Amino acid sequence: MPDSLSENSSTRRDRQLRRIAGHDIYFDHEGFFWAPEDWSEEAAVELSREMGMAELSEPCWQVIRFMRKFYFFHGRAPMNRDLKNGTGMSILAIEELFPRGIRLGARLLAGLPNPKACL
119 located within any domain: no
CATH of the domain at 31: 1.10.10.370
How far is Cα 20 from Cα 94, in angstroms, rounded to an integer?
Answer: 25
Q: What is the DSSP letter of 114?
A: P
Which amino acid is it at 49?
R
The boundaries of the domain holding residue 89 are: 4-112
For residue range 20-65, what is the model confidence (pLDDT) as tens digits? 999 999 999 999 999 999 999 999 999 999 999 999 999 999 999 9
- What is the number of structural domains in the chain? 1
Mean pLDDT of the chain: 89
Contact 36, 78 (CB under 8 A): no
Confidence band for 3, pLDDT divided at 50, 70 and 90: very low
Between these two residues, 15 and 4, which has the higher pLDDT value?
15
77 located within any domain: yes
117 located within any domain: no
Which amino acid is it at 80?
N
118 located within any domain: no
How far is Cα 40 from Cα 111, in angstroms, rounded to an integer?
Answer: 8
Between these two residues, 35 and 3, which has the higher pLDDT value?
35
Q: 115 pLDDT exceeds 90?
A: no
Active site annotation includes 118: yes
Q: Catalytic residue, from 1, 117, 118, 119: name it.
A: 118
Burial label for 102, CB within 10 Å (0-12, 13-18, 19+), is: buried
